[in-house]
Structure 1
């Protein structure tokens, strides 16, 4: 049986974002392997078990996320090169920046092709720090010579990839897709769910989904929310992260700790969305946000930062703002409560989302795999 190898720095990434691609390859008759870092965190071990349950053969290759971990990544490169020479894979599909670096270098050294690399948001982008361009854009330009398929998930990255000296060519695929039909059909009793969350039935509820870190920028939303003067409104955050205590303290200092709720990691996000009134997505950097697409599929009006990926999903939206502009966000939160063009926004979102449906994305990925790997 022909074999394909997925390479990334973190096993959880494959579970979160690549199970659909894995299934496509299995249905095409390939045995799927993965080379990734399963060491350390408990959740990584859980990821290995999940991948095995999906029929994936796992190889523990300790690729590190940081490009500064040179010794560790050199060891990972050597181990991966040895694996590639031993297994004779029909192709390699790399993900994440360091998975892409180590994977493409090892594949070239082992004379394994074709090599696919999906950029889930290049680490260089409009307005990024100069060091990002010096490190990441330089690396991507160099590694393009070892890349047969450069897959991008937003228009800004696709334009950048087309300028690379690729061995093959650049492709645009609209993300990993979302199951629009499944999400839009979720049924939940709003009053019951709100009671479970401790939210009044008549309150206006904003919600965000994402890790509590600097990039996700929940701090700006908390500040804007505190300035709205809407006492019968709440802000829910689904996610864990290193900034939780800082955000809790900020909400307390601003006098909104009773109306800003930190829900932690949730497995019922689709139900929570149905119990809310507006989705807020304030990130500084994204590739193409799954959580934003899920909120759109749930029928919520969406307020989002004007960044790469978000502008693809919300073209011509009046509910976009600059990531650090608290005043603009505060006004948009007030506008959505007042219903300003909310109906038009939601109708446009529903139409836009059709191209991001998982069925469409799967068909495009199947064509790419068939084109690169053969029948």
Structure 2
């Protein structure tokens, strides 16, 4: 079988480029050809540059498992599989991964293709709506077409172990896909020039948000919390379906001079160095990489309590933890941090050290051990890594 691996995800720019380049590089360093199959979420005039990618196949995957267009995506993927011999396929994002695992069922059986799936957060979880039971049923059915499930939090790991019990599929837990601590912490940008770019006073308390703007990320809560605290500014990085709704909310609250929408920023990690705190009120998270990146720069966190943030956020130690649907708690948290610089310093200092265990080197080492469990790849000395924004 040819030394070729395939990475599958729903989109390219916001998933492959953001999270998977270090692992693609790892395979290239070991003599593998690397293919990518994902939807095209680049802007029309944006170059489709994917480092460490030998072939790029654009196949749209739709988030809704009931979208009829996904049947066409399945057929296109089957054709891709017939044209190539893959030694391993690593699937990401729920619907794309489900389609890929089912499409690879024959290649897995006849060619011995290894099929891995990283669950960045199961859609079934404690406290989830009843409809999420459908995702559990689907995931359990797909176990038979999967060699390994990689999880990033304890709740999902426990669920994966139960589903894999008595099956040929193995369950793993890693410390997320990893953050490049050196890149995040070392920047030529200063607090002053970052604030000048957005017209934010240097002495103002600045809360930052960096995520897709959708219902799950609960950005409206962040906006309301900041708006209720006079003199506090907010920088929102990201785009998404709820962006216009959030902009309307800012207008309604009359705080357009203090709450700034920066759009999608490749340099969002550098902008953290201009902030005083990071807010992250998601309804659910698999882990919450953006919050860990903020901790790595020494920012105190204001987060919601969910299975992802429970992995690292400890109330009063490195974060203020709130209930996702309790806006009053978030308002009070912003007020507390904006009026207590010593508390900010304490939480930020502790969080800085908490972030160490989520370093990219740790995650690559654990994933390398998993890959070697399925492929004939000898051990090697550490190589350099490249994170998503350095393209």
User: TM-score, normalising length from structure 2?
Assistant: 0.87
CA drift at 1:146: 1.5
- In structure 2, the residue matched to 1:349 is 351
Which residue pairs with 2:219 in the alignment?
A: 218
In structure 2, what is the equivalent of residue 304 of structure 1? 303
User: What's the CA shift string for 1:326-350, capped at 9, x where partnerless?
Assistant: 1111111122122363333223212
CA contact (8 A) 1:146 1:167 kept: no
**Contact 2:299–2:351, Cα closer than 8 Å, also in 1:** no
**Which residue of the other structure, out of 45, 52, 55, is the alignment partner of 2:53?**
55
1:153 corresponds to? 152
Aligned residue for 2:261, secondary structure, equals strand
CA deviations on 1:216-249 (whole Å, 9 max, x unpaired) are 1111122222323xx3321121122333332233
Q: TM-score, normalised by structure 1?
A: 0.91
Partner of 2:177: 176
Does structure 2 retain, via aligned residues, the 8 Å contact 1:81–1:109?
no
Unaligned runs of 5+ in 1: none
Question: Per the alignment, in what secondary structure is the counterpart of residue 242 of structure 1?
Answer: coil
> Which residue of the partner structure matches residue 332 of structure 2?
331
Q: Choose which of 27, 45, 58 in structure 2 pairs with 1:25.
A: 27
Partner residue, 2:118: 118
Distance 1:188 1:21, change over 3 A: same
Question: Which shows bigger deviation, 339-348 or 214-223?
Answer: 339-348
Q: CA RMSD in A?
A: 2.1
| Secondary structure in structure 2 of the residue aligned to 1:162 | helix
Compare 350-359 and 237-246 and name the one that shifted more: 237-246
Asked if the contact 1:227–1:330 (Cα under 8 Å) also holds between the matched residues in 2, the reply is yes
Pair 1:244–1:85, CA change in 2 (3 A): closer
What is the CA distance between 1:22 and its match in structure 2?
0.8
Aligned residues: 367
After TM superposition, the structure 1 = structure 2 runs for residues 81-160 of structure 1, keeping only pairs within 5 Å, are 81-110=78-107, 111=109, 112-133=112-133, 135-160=134-159
Q: What's the offset of the Cα at 1:370?
A: 1.0
1:68 aligns with 2:59: no
Secondary structure of 1:5 counterpart: strand
2:193 aligns to what?
192
Residue 3 (str. 1) matches residue 4 (str. 2): yes
C-alpha displacement of 1:42: 4.2
Runs of 5+ consecutive residues of structure 2 not aligned to the other structure: 378-391
